[in-house]
């Protein structure tokens, strides 16, 4: 069957990562419909960054298949890379280039039709204008995060991978960035996979939560499903139940 637009934006099958003898992720099975927002939730070391890194193509899976809009990520890379993008605090932009130069490089890499117009649009949407011509290395952590999100949106992706996108932002800016991400999802029917430790962010943005524990999916549902299943009124308490082994999932 040829890949079609009805395919999930992302699906993973039997995805595993081991380091030496140690299994850190998997086997994982999940899929994201176009336009959906899914959170990967889990404690430190649960495997969120490793999972996102494999889907980004930055970490080689030990086993399993990753499909992006029906295409095998490892074998048909060039058919899918233009439709996806990511933001991760572990991937730094070159420090000596200005913000504008960095965005232009990525715009050209992604073959964006009118790069300068796109940079203007992102500068407006993410309030980058005041430091657009400053060296990226001289920005504050929060400013760098906004630039990283601009880089992640430069090719109008239909699949966006975000690793703690608001971790270094003040509450006001974080809220504002979430609104930008929601707007991008709505206008581009973009599927988002998001690792986060921020439960209110997950409740606000996500229609589904995958709870990871020791590299495997321990529970899976909408925020409302999980609250009901654990008899809690916020995701933070659900998270603590799972982390401390008080799993109320009956």
Closer Cβ to ligand ATP, 11 or 198, answer by number: 198
What is the per-residue binding string for ligand ATP in 48-87, x denoting contact by CB under 6 A? xxx-------------------------------------
Residues 19-48 that bind ligand ATP (CB under 6 A): 19, 24, 42, 44-48
Here the tokens at position 143 are: 């400013």
Cβ distance to ligand ATP smaller for residue 38 or 49 = 49
Does 165 interact with ligand ATP (rule: CB under 6 A)?
no
* Cα three-residue angle 118-72-86, rounded to 5 degrees: 35
Q: Quote the CA–CA distance of 96 and 102 in Å, as a whole number.
A: 9
Contact criterion met (CB below 8 Å) for 54 and 14:
no
Q: Give residue for tokens 């609250």.
A: 227
Q: Does 166 contact ligand ATP by CB under 6 A? A: no
Q: How far is the CB of 10 from ligand ATP (least distance, A)?
A: 17
Cα(155)–Cα(108) distance, rounded to whole angstroms? Answer: 10
Quick check: 160 and 184 in contact, CB under 8 A? yes
Say whether residue 145 binds ligand ATP (CB under 6 A). Answer: no
Q: Which residue has the tokens 């952590």?
A: 141
Say how far apart CA 40 and CA 193 lie, in whole Å: 7
Q: How far is CA 164 from the centre of its chain?
A: 8
Least distance from ligand ATP to the Cβ atom of residue 135, Å: 28
* Choice between 14 and 45, CB closer to ligand ATP: 45
Task: Compare residues 29 and 114 and give the one whose CB is closer to ligand ATP.
Answer: 29
The distance of closest approach from Cβ of residue 176 to ligand ATP in the complex, given in angstroms and rounded to an integer, is: 24
Query: Which residues bind to ligand ATP, rule: CB under 6 A?
Result: 19, 24, 42, 44-50
């Amino acid at each position: 069957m040829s890949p079609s637009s009805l395919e999930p934006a992302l699906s993973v099958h039997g995805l595993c990562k081991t380091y030496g003898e140690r299994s850190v992720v998997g086997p994982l099975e999940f899929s994201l419909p176009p336009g959906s927002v899914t959170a990967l939730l889990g404690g430190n070391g649960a495997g969120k960054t490793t999972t996102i890194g494999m889907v980004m193509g930055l970490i080689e899976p030990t086993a399993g298949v990753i499909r992006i809009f029906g295409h095998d990520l490892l074998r048909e890379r060039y058919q899918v890379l233009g439709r996806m993008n990511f933001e991760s605090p572990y991937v730094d932009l070159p420090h000596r280039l200005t913000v504008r130069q960095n965005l232009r490089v990525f715009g050209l890499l992604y073959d964006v039709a009118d790069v300068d117009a796109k940079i203007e649009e992102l500068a407006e949407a993410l309030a980058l204008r005041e430091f657009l011509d400053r060296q990226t290395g001289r920005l504050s952590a929060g400013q760098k995060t906004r630039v990283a999100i601009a880089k992640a949106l430069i090719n109008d992706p239909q699949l966006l991978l975000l690793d703690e996108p608001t971790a270094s932002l003040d509450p006001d800016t974080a809220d504002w960035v979430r609104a930008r991400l929601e707007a991008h999802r709505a206008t581009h029917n973009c599927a988002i996979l998001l690792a986060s430790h921020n439960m209110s962010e997950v409740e606000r943005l996500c229609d589904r939560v995958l709870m990871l524990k020791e590299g495997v999916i321990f529970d899976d549902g909408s925020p409302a499903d999980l609250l009901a299943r654990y008899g809690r009124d916020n995701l933070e308490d659900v998270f603590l139940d799972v982390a401390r082994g008080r799993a109320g999932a009956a």
